[in-house]
Structure 1
Amino acid sequence: MDKQINAVRFYGQAVAKGGVFLILALLSSALCALAQYRPIDLPKTLTFTKPTPAYDPENPKHKLGDFQAGIRVNVLGSQSDPSLWRVSYERYGQAALEALIESPDLSATEVEAYKRVHALISEFPLLQTLLETENPWPKEIEEQARQIFGHEKNFTLASGSKDSADVLTAKSPKSFWGIQPLASEIRYTDPKDPRVLIEVWNKGDAHRSRIRPTRARLIIRENLEKIQSAFPTMLQDPAPSMSITALKIQEEVFLLPNDLRVSLRYKSGEYLLLSLQSIRYLEDNKPGAFDPETFTQRIASKVTTSEDGHRYIDSIPMIDQGEKGYCAAATLARVLQFYGYPIDMHALADLAETEGRGGTRRDEIIRAMRRICNSTPFKLRELKDPDPGLLREKIEKGVPLIWFVPGHARLLIGIHPENSEIVYSDTYGLAHQYTVGDWVYFMNNNKEIWTLLPEGH
């Protein structure tokens, strides 16, 4: 074995050779994963093509030696850090030896395949960064933004707070494959499902775009197919988290190295979107059955008190509708995202037959909400003749109220327990996240209030 791995101690035991214990000093170094183009599925066996460092499974910082070229090992699995594989070397007449190795870099092991797509990848800087960075899905959204967007001057806060950001958006999204997208953002609304979203085109912002969405879709699909075919995988697409069957989303999925699930979503005449997610996060956090009690406790925990004494629901994701007439779709999307469904306003605008510039008819958004309820555990209810006591009852339970005012839809998220001032939130960005109005303002503007709640809530 000492000819095949240049270390003679595993787990503190010396390896005998010719009756003489040959003791070599253990090499110690910090384990630094390459992570570039890391395979997303594990082979059963692996044959080394060059000397490969081996590390102690009990102390990954300690290098044991090198597996030499030509040695074949069994791959037992990956670690909590997916850049490390646990392998086993079978020895005749002796117990197998286990070690940790850095997962292979496909750009080095599949050289010809990598050469075929390298230029293509380099023309999509955001994708290239995620394929080549050591940790494509860091825990902190700011670290992710610096990796993808560069200096802090290149991105801005879109949802959350300065101390706890949920969404960061590129100020000037970079073009790729000759396509200039409308927006690029990093979304950590659900820390268990971080994602990068690229809004390539949508009907509401069509006047701002010069691309032809059908042609852009073909280019993106063709190029992603080439990259995926260069690094083929047997892995099945992990189940998406908490989908809504009422939304007929057309999606093409590509599984790429370094823990990347790329989803191309397209609806003719409506939108063209790219979503990049972590395969491992999706596999490790598959949603279970809906638990009304857990849900009720979770949303109620988001209620807090402002400095002025208003009781309000915190942490509702912000969605900026921009110049589009998407207030109703964006408002509904905010509620669903708060409830744990990663739904965007474009899919809801399609469901509600929203006009790009003209908005959504009242009957259509009500119909859309009913269809949403038919494929979720929620029921649609109207709050009739609301008074301060009824509004506070809902707010204290963490229930966002979908508030229709003349010509507009917004969320009612808070109320003052003494003077009945209300707190409402519009879909125009963070500057409109929290606005206070008195009770007279509420009575003069209230048209309808609706809630989406589980049965029996």
Structure 2
Amino acid sequence: MKFLVLMTFLCPLLASGETRSLALERLLKKDLWDTPITTFAEAAKGGGFQWLSSQKQALRATRGKVTLFGGPVGEVVVRSKKDTISSLSASLYNRGDDGNMKKDEFTALRDAWVRRISDFTEIEPQPYKSRSAVDLERLIWRGGSSAFLLEASLKDGSGAPEFLRLRLAPNAATTHAPKTANRFSLRSNLTSKPNGDIYLENVPMVDQGKKGYCAVASAERIMRYYGNPIDQHEMAQIAQSSAARGTSLALMVDALKKAVGKLNTRTLVLYEYPKGLADSDRDIRTYNLGLKEYMRDVRSYNKLAEEAGKQVFSVSRERVINMSYFMAKCDGPLYARVMEEKSSFRRFKQKITEYIDQGIPVAWALQLGMFKEGKLPQMYGGHMRLIIGYNERTSELIYSDSWGDGHGFKRMPTAHAFCMTNAIMVLPPTR
């Protein structure tokens, strides 16, 4: 079996071709699962691998930097547990990054990868069945210490290709379902610092790239934090996300509610603004109540803005100002004065504290652009990130964006966060 041959980490070979890229199979050695991830990172230089976070628990390479078994691959993610490599996944096709693909082309691509993996391992694949969030066609190659799992997914109904990926893991890891955390064990991730910071450690980082996958990337991080290795492409399929349009908040909540049986979680919306925004089944009364609340807040803002000589916004019973436009154009500190006086601000803080103290991260849907946050891949519009902590002493929230290294641990005043919020929700484990 070729993948059991001892290979050196010192001189990884480069695949031939116009662009020099790392031939990843050169690093798949017998003791891969005993290899420190920092050693792998050193050996994989030239493959474009970058750390996903400052904790150096995972590496990511993007398309064009790596080949595998002579074929091109997209995103490659290498993860670790206790500093040694625990898994490797390679995207061979996904709708979000690569666009739509015809079914016959997808079948040909899958068959080509079956041949590549079979040639490399010198083993014939076997069907593999295991519980998953979406329907998958799976083949597995087992041998020695490693297992190669090829997973193909087609969209329900239309049969349109969603993704094709290859996962590598220790053989033992594929013989039983992943062990997910229970609510009691999650509290062990809670950390307190002398400066008043209280936050969750060990929340995995992913990089959504340039796709509008912030919601599904946030959901992937929560699931991985619980021990469920689902990825954003599966979540995108569940949530019917578009890489260009992203995910409607109401649709995302609906989709997560449908998937909770498979994911062993629940979906709880803790706060939404305006009321009914996260509920696709809202009735007209709820919708109107939400609009009235929003219009009332804009009028309160206008009073302060007029006194301060700032821009005011025209609103009436016949005219409702676009919320995204208002949030991008209003004076943030003035708007914060309005929002801080609301009783819902106290409930907002209370719910975040309640769930963080249980070890549960909070998904935060918001509008960017009201307050400066430094350099972000996206500066305006709808976004979802994770709240992972708080500091009552400084009145700040601690949060994390799904954009890789440098975005894992940030803070802002809680009042500013409340002004930007469309909804906060949690996906607590059912156990």
TM-score normalised per structure 1? 0.62
Q: Is 1:432 equivalent to 2:407 in the alignment?
A: yes
Letter in 2 for 1:273: R
CA distance in 2, matches of 1:307, 1:207: 48
Which residue does 2:17 correspond to in 1?
A: none
Distance 1:364 1:389, change over 3 A: closer
Report the 3-state secondary structure (helix = DSSP H, G, I; strand = E; otherwise coil) of the residue aligned with 1:325. coil
Instruction: Specify every segment of 5 or more residues in structure 2 that has no aligned partner in the other structure, as ranges.
Output: 7-20, 154-159, 272-343, 368-381
Confirm or deny: 8 A CA contact 1:138 1:144 kept in the other structure. no
- Give how far 1:157 is off: 0.8
Q: Is 1:304 equivalent to 2:191 in the alignment?
A: yes
Which residue does 2:51 correspond to in 1?
A: 157
- Give how far 1:389 is off: 2.9
- Give how far 1:160 is off: 5.3
Which residue does 2:288 correspond to in 1?
A: none
Q: Is 1:217 equivalent to 2:110 in the alignment?
A: yes
Report the 3-state secondary structure (helix = DSSP H, G, I; strand = E; otherwise coil) of the residue aligned with 2:418. helix
Ranked by relative contact order (alpha carbons within 8 Å, sequence separation 6 or more), the top structure is 2
Instruction: Figure out how many residues of one structure are paired with residues of the other and give that number.
Output: 319
Q: Give the counterpart of 1:447 among 409, 422, 427.
A: 422
5 Å-filtered alignment, 1:128-167, equals 128-130=26-28, 133-146=29-42, 149-150=44-45, 155-159=49-53, 161=55, 165-167=56-58
Q: Give the counterpart of 1:196 among 66, 69, 88.
A: 88
Which residue does 1:391 correspond to in 2?
A: 352
Aligned-CA RMSD value: 3.3
Percent of aligned pairs with the same amino acid: 23
Confirm or deny: 8 A CA contact 2:215 2:384 kept in the other structure. yes
CA distance in 1, matches of 2:144, 2:97: 33
Confirm or deny: 8 A CA contact 1:189 1:317 kept in the other structure. no
- Give how far 1:387 is off: 3.2
- Give how far 1:297 is off: 3.4
Distance 1:430 1:348, change over 3 A: same
- Give how far 1:356 is off: 1.8
CA distance in 2, matches of 1:143, 1:208: 37
Instruction: Specify every segment of 5 or more residues in structure 1 that has no aligned partner in the other structure, as ranges.
Output: 1-34, 39-104, 107-122
5 Å-filtered alignment, 1:23-422, equals 38=4, 125-130=23-28, 133-146=29-42, 149-150=44-45, 155-159=49-53, 161=55, 165-170=56-61, 173-176=65-68, 179-188=71-80, 194-206=86-98, 213-227=106-120, 230-231=122-123, 243-244=131-132, 246-255=133-142, 257-267=143-153, 268-283=160-175, 287=178, 295-306=182-193, 308-384=195-271, 385=344, 386-406=347-367, 407-422=382-397
Distance 1:374 1:300, change over 3 A: same
Letter in 2 for 1:249: L
- Give how far 1:334 is off: 0.5
Which residue does 1:8 correspond to in 2?
A: none
Confirm or deny: 8 A CA contact 1:392 1:417 kept in the other structure. no
Confirm or deny: 8 A CA contact 1:379 1:453 kept in the other structure. yes
Deviations 1:33-53 (A, max 9, x none): xx9655xxxxxxxxxxxxxxx
Distance 1:420 1:326, change over 3 A: same
Looking at secondary structure, tell me which structure has more helix per residue: 2
Distance 1:192 1:279, change over 3 A: farther
Deviations 1:422-448 (A, max 9, x none): 112111112221221112212211111
Letter in 2 for 1:445: M
- Give how far 1:396 is off: 1.4
TM-score normalised per structure 2? 0.65
Letter in 2 for 1:412: I
Deviations 1:24-73 (A, max 9, x none): xxxxxxxxxxx9655xxxxxxxxxxxxxxxxxxxxxxxxxxxxxxxxxxx
Report the 3-state secondary structure (helix = DSSP H, G, I; strand = E; otherwise coil) of the residue aligned with 1:370. helix
- Give how far 1:177 is off: 5.2
CA distance in 2, matches of 1:217, 1:286: 25
**Range with bigger deviation, 366-375 or 340-349:** 366-375
Distance 1:306 1:213, change over 3 A: farther
- Give how far 1:252 is off: 2.2
Letter in 2 for 1:422: L
- Give how far 1:403 is off: 1.1
